[in-house]
Amino acid sequence: MWAARSDDLPWPRDVPAPGPELVVVINPGSGEHDATATRDALARVFGSAGRAFRFVAIATPADLARAADHAARECAERGTVLVAAGGDGTINSVAQAAWHHGCLFGVLPQGTFNYFGRDHGIAQDLEQAATALLHADEQPVQVGEVNGRLFLVNASLGLYPQLLEDRETFKQQLGRHRWVAMLSGVVTVFKWRRQLALDLELDGQTTRVLSPTLFVGNNRLQLERIGMEPAIAARVGEGRLAALMPHPIGSWKLLWLALRGALGRLGDANGIDGAAFRNLTVQVRRARRVKVATDGEVTMMAPPLQFRVSDRPLRLMLPRPDHRVPVE
């Protein structure tokens, strides 16, 4: 299961390593970063500091969830730290395992947006983040759940999961470029005709609505970036999640809303509802199973969908104040 630690790493074998062992999960298919280069960089940082560490052996991306779960179980038993190095999808999969087994969790962000890492002051530079992890302290952080599945940044159904699936298809055919992602988004919006028929139960009140998508956020930074109403965004992370839902609209208006979100002006747009909540039940009428995206990973779930703040936080290893980077 574990990749062996090299015997030529520069720390004395008879001196106790400072801090708990770091068990690092690197997704071999995650983004544009080379897994071997990532391993080499982390070995230099951890080895020169005299910190015990191991890498989880993963042959293909399909093995990620299983390997992370096995590693998390061992980390919980030994009191060691499970570390995710990768983008949002990798971090979500490893965090899911750490949260399920209750072990300590560290993050080395390598994705495009890295909202979770940035919101907690974790550097985007790999070696800087690894150095900060060596001196990090445990801090419980809020996570969201939908039908028992964890999300750190957001969860959604309807149009948004379809956007993610279509984007991945386009990237496999045309390459991983920003213009490919933009093109796939435009194509998906114009071919999407479905309006979700939803029954929402919030604070004891049930409302019947139609909408192309439902977006639930657990990351204040992302919500602020898209321009969500400040009074709602400010409550996220303090025992509340936030829901965004556009009214039934056509393709051109959907594109207009997406542009406003990119410009950070979604909060003052007409035709979109938002609310902060702790528990939200969503029944999707005439649907036995629906696509749900959690931090960019799409799975099928059976309604009703229960969105809520988890009673059990994630045990995040948070950088000390002098090692945190300002939010950009």
Tens digit of each residue's pLDDT (9 = 90 or more) over 224-282: 887 778 888 888 988 999 998 877 565 545 554 554 444 444 455 556 778 899 999 99
The pLDDT of residue 72 is above 80: yes
Same domain assignment for residues 132 and 158: no
**pLDDT score at 20:** 93
**What CATH number does residue 98 fall under?**
3.40.50.10330
Q: Name the pLDDT band for 60 (thresholds 50, 70, 90).
A: confident
Most confident of 60-69, 168-177, 189-198, 228-237: 60-69
The domain in which residue 264 lies consists of 151-309
SS3 19: coil
Residue 69 maps to a domain: yes
Query: 299 and 318 in one domain?
Result: no
Query: Is 43 part of a structural domain of the chain?
Result: yes
Q: What is the mean pLDDT of residues 1-30?
A: 59
Q: Which two tokens stand for residue 309?
A: 């703040």
Judge if 189 and 302 occupy the same domain: yes
Within a domain: 328: no
Mean pLDDT across the chain: 80
Q: Does residue 103 sit in the same domain as residue 240? A: no
How far apart are the C-alpha atoms of 214 and 212, rounded to whole Å?
A: 7
204 has a pLDDT exceeding 80:
no
Residue bearing tokens 């395992």: 97
Mean pLDDT to the nearest integer, 115-124: 91
Query: Could you tell me if 249 and 318 lie in one domain?
Result: no
- Asked whether residue 66 falls in the same domain as residue 112, the answer is yes
Signed CA dihedral, 233, 235, 241, 244: sign only: negative
Question: Which CATH number do you get for residue 193?
Answer: 2.60.200.40
pLDDT for position 57: 82
- For 300-327, letters b (16+ CB in 10 Å) and e give ebebebebbbeeeebbbbbbeeebebee
Whether residue 194 sits in one domain with residue 136? no
- Domain shared by 111 and 159, yes or no: no
Tally the domains of the chain. Answer: 2
**What pLDDT digit, counting tens, does each position of 273-314 carry?**
788 999 999 999 888 999 999 998 888 999 999 999 999 999
Shared domain for 58 and 124, answered yes or no, is yes
